């Protein structure tokens, strides 16, 4: 087993070296965009921080680049990535619409998208029909959960500009439910001065995987360079340690794949 592991490890390493060598002359400078969504990514006194930021910087170290990461509101970051080549947007889910404009490398995160209620609310939600009549739902613009809720035909939505605003709406009783990914709940509650014990999950919408998204027009060789860097980082065991540092015992996405853009 040890021999197989070493063989796979060095195969990935060799692949990475070859791709780096073949891409060296391209001198493509990417624009790296993420959103304020702690602990995945956030702005800490003007410095980009968080799990995904640390991961992307580790991949850059492997590839020998030092590009700056910009933390922008999600709607703005998505708009830029939809309109310009050579943009890396992270972390994002894969859906039919986004596959028209992006290639994806990952997954880098696995998360459950759930509806949360206040801990003292005795509500029970067993199906979508019950949810339709249970009360308003807080979410934020261009979020994964917002798209899911719309696809399910739910209309009682209060949409804010930033993730922590939706958390505050729940705590202050302006909405009955808060739609959020499990990986970000504790951090967002801390940001607004609330405790994780003040809320509870009442309905799971979906389990999603999040990726690095490369905008339309980005060279395939560049994208494959990132894919190999991620595969190398995961095989080394460092990815698992980084994941544990930020997310504790949540499930770690082990595989690496490239999902190509749909023409």
The pLDDT of residue 132 is: 85
Which whole number is the average pLDDT over 36-46?
A: 92
Residue 168 CA to residue 33 CA, distance in Å, equals 26
Q: What's the chain's average pLDDT? A: 89
Instruction: Determine which helix (DSSP H) or strand (DSSP E) holds 109, and give its type and residue range.
Output: strand 102-118
Residue 114 CA to residue 125 CA, distance in Å, equals 11
Crossing angle of helices 51-63 and 238-247, rounded to 10°: 160
Query: Does the pTM exceed 0.75?
Result: yes
Determine the 3-state secondary structure of 118 from DSSP: strand
Percent of the chain scored above 90 by pLDDT? 71
Per-residue pLDDT tens over the stretch 132-145: 889 999 998 877 78
Task: Inform me whether the pLDDT recorded for 3 exceeds 60.
Answer: no
Determine the 3-state secondary structure of 160 from DSSP: strand
Q: How confident is the model at residue 94 (pLDDT cuts 50, 70, 90)?
A: very high
The pLDDT of residue 128 is: 84
Residue with tokens 């459950």, as numbered in its chain: 112
Residue 140 CA to residue 73 CA, distance in Å, equals 11
Which whole number is the average pLDDT over 160-185?
A: 93
Q: Compute how many other C-beta atoms are within 10 angstroms of the C-beta atom of residue 227.
A: 23
Residue with tokens 């943009």, as numbered in its chain: 87
């Amino acid at each position: 087993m040890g021999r197989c592991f070493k063989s796979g490890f060095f195969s990935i390493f060799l692949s990475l070296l070859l791709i780096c060598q073949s891409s060296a002359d391209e001198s493509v400078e990417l624009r790296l965009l993420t959103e304020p969504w702690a602990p995945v990514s956030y702005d800490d006194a003007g410095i980009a921080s968080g799990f995904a930021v640390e991961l992307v910087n580790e991949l850059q170290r492997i590839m020998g680049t030092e590009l700056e990461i910009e933390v922008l509101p999600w709607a703005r970051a998505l708009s830029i990535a939809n309109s310009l080549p050579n943009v890396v947007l992270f972390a994002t889910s894969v859906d039919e619409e986004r596959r028209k404009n992006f290639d994806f490398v990952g997954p880098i995160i696995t998360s459950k998208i759930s509806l949360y209620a206040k801990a003292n609310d005795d509500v029970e939600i067993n199906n979508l029909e019950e949810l339709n009549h249970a009360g308003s739902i807080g979410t934020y613009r261009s979020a994964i959960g917002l798209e899911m809720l719309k696809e399910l035909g739910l209309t009682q939505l209060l949409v804010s500009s930033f993730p922590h605003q939706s958390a505050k709406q729940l705590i202050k009783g302006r909405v009955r439910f808060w739609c959020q990914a499990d990986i970000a709940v504790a951090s967002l509650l801390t940001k607004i001065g609330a405790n994780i014990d003040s809320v509870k999950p009442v309905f799971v919408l979906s389990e999603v995987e999040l990726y690095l998204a490369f905008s339309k027009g980005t060279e395939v060789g560049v994208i494959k360079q990132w894919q190999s860097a991620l595969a190398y980082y995961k095989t080394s065991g460092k990815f698992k340690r980084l994941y544990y540092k930020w997310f504790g015992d949540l499930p770690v996405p082990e595989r690496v794949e490239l999902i190509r853009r749909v023409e």
